[in-house]
Amino acid sequence: MKRFFLCSAASLVALSGAQAADAIVAAAPEPAEYVRVCDAFGTGYFYIPGTETCLKFGGQLRFTVKGNDLNDKKDASKGTTGANWADEMRTRINISTKTDSEVGPIGTEIQLQSKYKSGGTSDGFEARLAYITVGGFTVGRLPSFVDNNGNNSYWPSFVNTALANGDTVVTGARYEYKNGPLGLGIGIDDLQDATTAGSAMAGGKLSKDIGIEGQVSYKKDALSAYMWGAYDNYSEKGVVYGHIENAFGPHLLQFDAEYASGSNAFESKYNWVVSADYTYSVSKTLTVGPSVTYYKYFDTVKNGDNYWQVGGDVYYYLQKDKATKTFVQAGLGYTTYDKTLNSFVRLRRDF
Protein backbone atom coordinates (compact mmCIF):
# COMPACT_ATOMS: atom_id res chain seq x y z
CA MET A 1 0.00 0.00 0.00
CA LYS A 2 2.86 2.34 0.81
CA ARG A 3 4.47 1.62 -2.55
CA PHE A 4 1.10 2.14 -4.30
CA PHE A 5 0.56 5.60 -2.79
CA LEU A 6 4.10 6.67 -3.60
CA CYS A 7 3.68 5.64 -7.25
CA SER A 8 0.31 7.44 -7.52
CA ALA A 9 1.75 10.65 -6.07
CA ALA A 10 4.70 10.54 -8.46
CA SER A 11 2.35 10.06 -11.43
CA LEU A 12 0.22 13.08 -10.43
CA VAL A 13 3.30 15.31 -10.03
CA ALA A 14 4.58 14.29 -13.46
CA LEU A 15 1.20 14.90 -15.11
CA SER A 16 0.76 18.36 -13.56
CA GLY A 17 4.30 19.32 -14.60
CA ALA A 18 3.60 18.33 -18.20
CA GLN A 19 0.41 20.37 -18.25
CA ALA A 20 2.19 23.42 -16.78
CA ALA A 21 4.74 23.26 -19.56
CA ASP A 22 2.05 23.57 -22.23
CA ALA A 23 1.84 27.16 -23.71
CA ILE A 24 -1.38 29.14 -23.31
CA VAL A 25 -2.79 29.93 -26.75
CA ALA A 26 -4.61 33.33 -26.96
CA ALA A 27 -7.14 34.17 -29.65
CA ALA A 28 -5.58 36.18 -32.50
CA PRO A 29 -6.75 39.82 -32.52
CA GLU A 30 -8.77 41.13 -35.42
CA PRO A 31 -6.59 43.13 -37.84
CA ALA A 32 -7.01 46.87 -37.28
CA GLU A 33 -8.50 48.79 -40.20
CA TYR A 34 -6.98 52.25 -40.30
CA VAL A 35 -8.49 55.23 -42.12
CA ARG A 36 -6.74 55.72 -45.45
CA VAL A 37 -6.25 59.07 -47.15
CA CYS A 38 -7.96 59.38 -50.54
CA ASP A 39 -6.04 61.78 -52.78
CA ALA A 40 -7.79 60.93 -56.06
CA PHE A 41 -10.35 63.74 -55.73
CA GLY A 42 -8.41 66.51 -54.02
CA THR A 43 -7.52 67.55 -50.48
CA GLY A 44 -9.50 66.38 -47.45
CA TYR A 45 -10.98 63.07 -48.66
CA PHE A 46 -10.52 59.74 -46.86
CA TYR A 47 -11.82 56.23 -47.56
CA ILE A 48 -14.85 55.05 -45.62
CA PRO A 49 -13.48 51.89 -43.90
CA GLY A 50 -14.40 48.72 -45.78
CA THR A 51 -15.38 50.60 -48.96
CA GLU A 52 -13.84 52.31 -51.99
CA THR A 53 -15.93 55.45 -51.39
CA CYS A 54 -14.13 58.65 -50.39
CA LEU A 55 -15.70 60.98 -47.83
CA LYS A 56 -15.03 64.63 -47.02
CA PHE A 57 -16.39 66.99 -44.39
CA GLY A 58 -16.19 70.77 -44.61
CA GLY A 59 -18.11 73.93 -43.94
CA GLN A 60 -18.17 77.63 -43.25
CA LEU A 61 -19.11 79.89 -40.35
CA ARG A 62 -19.66 83.58 -41.13
CA PHE A 63 -20.56 86.30 -38.63
CA THR A 64 -21.36 89.80 -39.95
CA VAL A 65 -22.20 93.07 -38.23
CA LYS A 66 -23.29 95.88 -40.57
CA GLY A 67 -24.19 99.50 -40.03
CA ASN A 68 -26.53 101.25 -42.48
CA ASP A 69 -26.76 104.99 -43.11
CA LEU A 70 -24.02 106.23 -40.81
CA ASN A 71 -24.84 109.81 -41.89
CA ASP A 72 -28.27 109.54 -40.27
CA LYS A 73 -27.76 111.60 -37.09
CA LYS A 74 -30.20 111.05 -34.27
CA ASP A 75 -32.68 113.94 -34.33
CA ALA A 76 -36.16 113.49 -32.82
CA SER A 77 -37.47 116.66 -34.50
CA LYS A 78 -36.67 115.17 -37.92
CA GLY A 79 -37.86 111.70 -37.02
CA THR A 80 -34.40 110.13 -37.43
CA THR A 81 -33.13 107.56 -34.97
CA GLY A 82 -29.44 107.40 -35.80
CA ALA A 83 -27.38 104.76 -37.56
CA ASN A 84 -29.10 101.41 -37.99
CA TRP A 85 -27.22 98.21 -37.40
CA ALA A 86 -27.85 94.49 -37.66
CA ASP A 87 -25.97 91.21 -37.38
CA GLU A 88 -26.17 87.82 -39.07
CA MET A 89 -24.72 84.40 -38.31
CA ARG A 90 -24.59 81.92 -41.20
CA THR A 91 -23.49 78.30 -40.74
CA ARG A 92 -22.85 75.78 -43.51
CA ILE A 93 -21.87 72.11 -43.16
CA ASN A 94 -20.79 70.22 -46.29
CA ILE A 95 -20.70 66.43 -46.70
CA SER A 96 -19.18 65.12 -49.94
CA THR A 97 -18.60 61.60 -51.30
CA LYS A 98 -16.78 60.37 -54.43
CA THR A 99 -16.37 56.91 -55.96
CA ASP A 100 -14.67 55.82 -59.19
CA SER A 101 -16.76 53.82 -61.65
CA GLU A 102 -16.78 52.68 -65.27
CA VAL A 103 -18.92 55.71 -66.20
CA GLY A 104 -16.68 58.18 -64.37
CA PRO A 105 -16.67 59.56 -60.82
CA ILE A 106 -19.95 59.17 -58.91
CA GLY A 107 -20.47 61.73 -56.16
CA THR A 108 -22.95 63.27 -53.78
CA GLU A 109 -23.03 66.69 -52.17
CA ILE A 110 -25.08 67.78 -49.16
CA GLN A 111 -24.92 71.26 -47.67
CA LEU A 112 -26.81 72.03 -44.48
CA GLN A 113 -27.35 75.73 -43.81
CA SER A 114 -28.68 77.78 -40.92
CA LYS A 115 -29.07 81.56 -40.63
CA TYR A 116 -29.76 83.74 -37.66
CA LYS A 117 -30.55 87.39 -38.41
CA SER A 118 -30.72 90.23 -35.91
CA GLY A 119 -34.25 90.73 -34.67
CA GLY A 120 -35.37 87.27 -35.73
CA THR A 121 -34.89 83.65 -34.87
CA SER A 122 -32.78 80.93 -36.46
CA ASP A 123 -34.34 79.29 -39.48
CA GLY A 124 -32.84 75.95 -38.38
CA PHE A 125 -30.66 73.69 -40.47
CA GLU A 126 -32.02 72.84 -43.90
CA ALA A 127 -30.56 70.97 -46.86
CA ARG A 128 -29.68 73.95 -49.05
CA LEU A 129 -27.86 71.63 -51.47
CA ALA A 130 -28.49 67.95 -52.15
CA TYR A 131 -27.39 66.54 -55.50
CA ILE A 132 -25.83 63.53 -57.24
CA THR A 133 -23.13 63.63 -59.91
CA VAL A 134 -22.37 60.87 -62.43
CA GLY A 135 -19.51 61.68 -64.75
CA GLY A 136 -20.24 65.21 -65.95
CA PHE A 137 -23.99 65.02 -65.16
CA THR A 138 -25.54 66.55 -62.03
CA VAL A 139 -29.14 66.30 -60.78
CA GLY A 140 -30.91 67.46 -57.63
CA ARG A 141 -30.97 70.65 -55.59
CA LEU A 142 -27.84 72.40 -56.82
CA PRO A 143 -26.24 75.85 -57.17
CA SER A 144 -27.16 77.29 -60.57
CA PHE A 145 -24.53 78.91 -62.75
CA VAL A 146 -25.81 82.29 -61.54
CA ASP A 147 -24.35 81.37 -58.13
CA ASN A 148 -20.94 81.99 -59.73
CA ASN A 149 -20.92 85.79 -59.45
CA GLY A 150 -19.20 88.66 -57.72
CA ASN A 151 -15.66 89.64 -56.79
CA ASN A 152 -13.83 89.70 -53.48
CA SER A 153 -15.42 92.95 -52.31
CA TYR A 154 -18.40 93.05 -49.95
CA TRP A 155 -20.06 95.96 -51.77
CA PRO A 156 -21.20 94.93 -55.32
CA SER A 157 -24.67 93.36 -55.50
CA PHE A 158 -25.06 90.97 -58.42
CA VAL A 159 -27.89 88.54 -59.19
CA ASN A 160 -30.86 89.56 -57.05
CA THR A 161 -32.93 86.46 -57.74
CA ALA A 162 -36.64 85.84 -57.28
CA LEU A 163 -35.93 82.20 -56.41
CA ALA A 164 -36.91 80.60 -53.10
CA ASN A 165 -35.43 82.55 -50.16
CA GLY A 166 -33.73 84.88 -52.66
CA ASP A 167 -31.03 82.22 -53.04
CA THR A 168 -29.18 81.10 -56.18
CA VAL A 169 -30.07 77.41 -55.71
CA VAL A 170 -32.40 75.55 -58.10
CA THR A 171 -33.81 72.07 -58.58
CA GLY A 172 -32.57 70.89 -61.94
CA ALA A 173 -30.06 69.00 -64.05
CA ARG A 174 -26.90 70.03 -65.87
CA TYR A 175 -23.91 68.70 -67.79
CA GLU A 176 -20.36 70.04 -67.52
CA TYR A 177 -17.29 69.30 -69.63
CA LYS A 178 -13.68 70.26 -68.96
CA ASN A 179 -10.70 70.08 -71.27
CA GLY A 180 -7.55 71.59 -69.84
CA PRO A 181 -8.16 75.24 -68.95
CA LEU A 182 -11.51 75.33 -70.78
CA GLY A 183 -14.86 74.45 -69.18
CA LEU A 184 -18.35 74.25 -70.69
CA GLY A 185 -21.73 73.64 -69.08
CA ILE A 186 -25.47 73.64 -69.79
CA GLY A 187 -28.42 73.15 -67.45
CA ILE A 188 -32.20 73.15 -67.14
CA ASP A 189 -33.98 74.40 -64.00
CA ASP A 190 -37.38 74.04 -62.36
CA LEU A 191 -38.42 77.65 -61.59
CA GLN A 192 -41.83 76.95 -60.06
CA ASP A 193 -40.58 78.16 -56.67
CA ALA A 194 -39.73 81.62 -58.07
CA THR A 195 -41.94 84.57 -57.14
CA THR A 196 -42.10 85.41 -60.86
CA ALA A 197 -43.46 81.94 -61.72
CA GLY A 198 -46.95 81.33 -63.12
CA SER A 199 -49.34 78.42 -62.82
CA ALA A 200 -47.80 74.97 -63.02
CA MET A 201 -50.54 74.04 -65.49
CA ALA A 202 -51.98 76.71 -67.77
CA GLY A 203 -54.75 75.90 -70.23
CA GLY A 204 -53.91 72.23 -70.15
CA LYS A 205 -50.38 72.94 -71.39
CA LEU A 206 -47.13 71.96 -69.73
CA SER A 207 -45.68 74.49 -67.31
CA LYS A 208 -43.47 77.21 -68.76
CA ASP A 209 -41.72 77.72 -65.40
CA ILE A 210 -38.33 76.42 -66.53
CA GLY A 211 -34.94 78.01 -66.94
CA ILE A 212 -32.10 77.33 -69.37
CA GLU A 213 -28.52 78.07 -68.36
CA GLY A 214 -25.12 77.91 -70.04
CA GLN A 215 -21.57 78.70 -68.95
CA VAL A 216 -18.09 78.86 -70.48
CA SER A 217 -14.97 79.30 -68.35
CA TYR A 218 -11.21 79.57 -68.79
CA LYS A 219 -8.47 79.34 -66.18
CA LYS A 220 -4.74 79.24 -66.68
CA ASP A 221 -2.13 80.28 -64.14
CA ALA A 222 -3.22 83.60 -62.58
CA LEU A 223 -5.75 84.41 -65.32
CA SER A 224 -9.37 83.36 -64.74
CA ALA A 225 -12.46 84.25 -66.76
CA TYR A 226 -16.00 82.98 -67.22
CA MET A 227 -19.31 83.98 -68.74
CA TRP A 228 -22.76 82.54 -68.13
CA GLY A 229 -26.25 83.22 -69.36
CA ALA A 230 -29.67 82.25 -67.96
CA TYR A 231 -33.12 82.46 -69.58
CA ASP A 232 -36.43 82.43 -67.71
CA ASN A 233 -38.92 80.78 -70.10
CA TYR A 234 -41.98 82.02 -68.18
CA SER A 235 -41.07 85.73 -68.12
CA GLU A 236 -39.27 85.37 -71.48
CA LYS A 237 -36.38 87.42 -70.07
CA GLY A 238 -32.78 86.56 -69.44
CA VAL A 239 -29.50 87.68 -67.89
CA VAL A 240 -25.84 87.53 -68.99
CA TYR A 241 -22.87 87.86 -66.65
CA GLY A 242 -19.10 87.98 -67.18
CA HIS A 243 -16.08 87.97 -64.88
CA ILE A 244 -12.34 88.28 -65.52
CA GLU A 245 -9.47 88.52 -63.06
CA ASN A 246 -5.70 88.48 -63.14
CA ALA A 247 -3.06 88.48 -60.42
CA PHE A 248 0.45 89.85 -60.86
CA GLY A 249 2.71 89.95 -57.87
CA PRO A 250 0.79 91.34 -54.87
CA HIS A 251 -1.86 92.90 -57.14
CA LEU A 252 -5.25 91.46 -58.12
CA LEU A 253 -7.63 93.07 -60.62
CA GLN A 254 -11.24 91.91 -61.08
CA PHE A 255 -13.89 93.15 -63.53
CA ASP A 256 -17.55 92.09 -63.53
CA ALA A 257 -20.57 93.02 -65.64
CA GLU A 258 -24.21 91.88 -65.64
CA TYR A 259 -27.03 92.70 -68.05
CA ALA A 260 -30.68 91.59 -67.72
CA SER A 261 -33.27 92.15 -70.46
CA GLY A 262 -36.07 92.42 -67.90
CA SER A 263 -37.21 91.25 -64.48
CA ASN A 264 -36.95 87.46 -64.25
CA ALA A 265 -36.30 84.64 -61.78
CA PHE A 266 -32.51 85.13 -62.01
CA GLU A 267 -32.42 88.96 -61.76
CA SER A 268 -35.42 90.92 -60.50
CA LYS A 269 -33.84 94.28 -59.65
CA TYR A 270 -31.11 95.62 -61.94
CA ASN A 271 -30.92 96.18 -65.70
CA TRP A 272 -27.15 96.80 -65.56
CA VAL A 273 -24.44 96.21 -62.96
CA VAL A 274 -20.76 96.92 -63.75
CA SER A 275 -18.00 96.63 -61.14
CA ALA A 276 -14.21 96.91 -60.82
CA ASP A 277 -12.26 95.69 -57.80
CA TYR A 278 -8.56 96.01 -56.94
CA THR A 279 -6.72 94.47 -54.00
CA TYR A 280 -3.11 94.78 -52.88
CA SER A 281 -1.47 92.24 -50.57
CA VAL A 282 0.56 94.30 -48.13
CA SER A 283 1.81 91.10 -46.49
CA LYS A 284 0.90 87.41 -46.23
CA THR A 285 -1.84 88.30 -43.76
CA LEU A 286 -3.04 91.79 -44.80
CA THR A 287 -4.84 92.77 -48.04
CA VAL A 288 -6.54 96.09 -48.86
CA GLY A 289 -8.33 97.54 -51.86
CA PRO A 290 -11.13 99.72 -53.29
CA SER A 291 -14.21 98.72 -55.29
CA VAL A 292 -16.50 100.80 -57.54
CA THR A 293 -19.87 99.70 -58.97
CA TYR A 294 -22.46 101.20 -61.31
CA TYR A 295 -26.13 100.17 -61.06
CA LYS A 296 -29.16 100.81 -63.26
CA TYR A 297 -32.62 99.67 -62.11
CA PHE A 298 -35.26 98.25 -64.43
CA ASP A 299 -37.75 100.83 -65.70
CA THR A 300 -40.39 99.01 -63.63
CA VAL A 301 -38.20 99.28 -60.50
CA LYS A 302 -37.51 102.79 -59.20
CA ASN A 303 -38.21 104.21 -62.67
CA GLY A 304 -34.93 102.99 -64.11
CA ASP A 305 -32.80 105.22 -61.87
CA ASN A 306 -29.05 104.66 -61.76
CA TYR A 307 -26.39 105.29 -59.14
CA TRP A 308 -22.78 104.63 -58.14
CA GLN A 309 -21.35 102.87 -55.12
CA VAL A 310 -17.76 103.22 -53.94
CA GLY A 311 -16.36 101.01 -51.20
CA GLY A 312 -13.15 99.86 -49.59
CA ASP A 313 -12.29 96.52 -47.99
CA VAL A 314 -9.58 95.34 -45.58
CA TYR A 315 -8.82 91.62 -45.23
CA TYR A 316 -6.73 90.22 -42.37
CA TYR A 317 -5.98 86.49 -42.52
CA LEU A 318 -5.57 84.80 -39.17
CA GLN A 319 -4.83 81.46 -40.89
CA LYS A 320 -4.72 80.24 -44.48
CA ASP A 321 -3.67 77.06 -46.27
CA LYS A 322 -4.84 74.95 -49.21
CA ALA A 323 -7.92 73.58 -47.46
CA THR A 324 -8.91 76.10 -44.77
CA LYS A 325 -8.82 79.80 -44.03
CA THR A 326 -9.89 82.21 -41.31
CA PHE A 327 -10.04 85.95 -41.89
CA VAL A 328 -11.56 89.23 -40.79
CA GLN A 329 -13.03 91.52 -43.48
CA ALA A 330 -14.17 95.08 -42.84
CA GLY A 331 -14.95 98.19 -44.83
CA LEU A 332 -16.88 101.34 -45.66
CA GLY A 333 -19.11 102.06 -48.66
CA TYR A 334 -20.85 105.16 -50.02
CA THR A 335 -23.83 105.12 -52.39
CA THR A 336 -25.00 108.09 -54.44
CA TYR A 337 -28.60 106.84 -54.63
CA ASP A 338 -29.59 107.86 -51.13
CA LYS A 339 -26.26 109.45 -50.16
CA THR A 340 -25.57 107.04 -47.32
CA LEU A 341 -22.35 105.81 -45.76
CA ASN A 342 -22.46 102.13 -44.74
CA SER A 343 -20.06 99.84 -42.90
CA PHE A 344 -19.51 96.21 -42.01
CA VAL A 345 -17.23 93.85 -40.08
CA ARG A 346 -17.16 90.14 -40.88
CA LEU A 347 -15.38 87.14 -39.36
CA ARG A 348 -15.31 84.07 -41.59
CA ARG A 349 -13.94 80.56 -41.11
CA ASP A 350 -13.76 78.03 -43.98
CA PHE A 351 -12.75 74.46 -43.20
pLDDT at residue number 15 = 47
Q: Which domain holds residue 69?
A: 33-130
Residue 287 lies in a domain: no
b/e per residue, 152-168, with b = 16+ CB within 10 A? bbbbbbbbbbbbeeeeb
Is 139 a member of any domain? no
In a domain, 76, yes or no: yes
What are 188-191's contacts with CB under 8 Å, separation 24+?
188/212, 188/213, 189/144, 189/213, 191/163, 191/232, 191/233, 191/234, 191/265
Judge whether 226 lies within some domain. Answer: no
**4 occurs within a structural domain:** no
Q: Looking at the domain assignment, is residue 81 inside a domain?
A: yes
Query: What is the number of structural domains in the chain?
Result: 1
Answer yes or no: is 84 within a domain.
yes
- The pTM (predicted TM-score) of the whole model is 0.83
Alpha-carbon separation of residue 101 from 106, 140, 178, 238 (angstroms):
7, 20, 18, 37
Domain-located, residue 220: no
pLDDT tens, N- to C-terminus, the chain (351 residues):
555 444 555 554 454 554 555 556 666 666 666 789 999 998 899 999 989 999 999 999 999 999 877 666 555 554 555 557 889 999 999 999 999 999 889 999 999 999 998 877 677 899 999 999 999 999 999 999 999 999 999 999 999 999 988 999 999 999 999 999 999 999 999 999 898 887 655 554 567 899 999 999 999 999 999 999 999 999 999 999 999 999 999 999 999 999 999 999 999 999 999 999 999 999 999 999 999 999 999 999 999 999 999 999 999 999 999 889 999 999 999 999 988 899 999 999 999
pLDDT on residue 199: 60
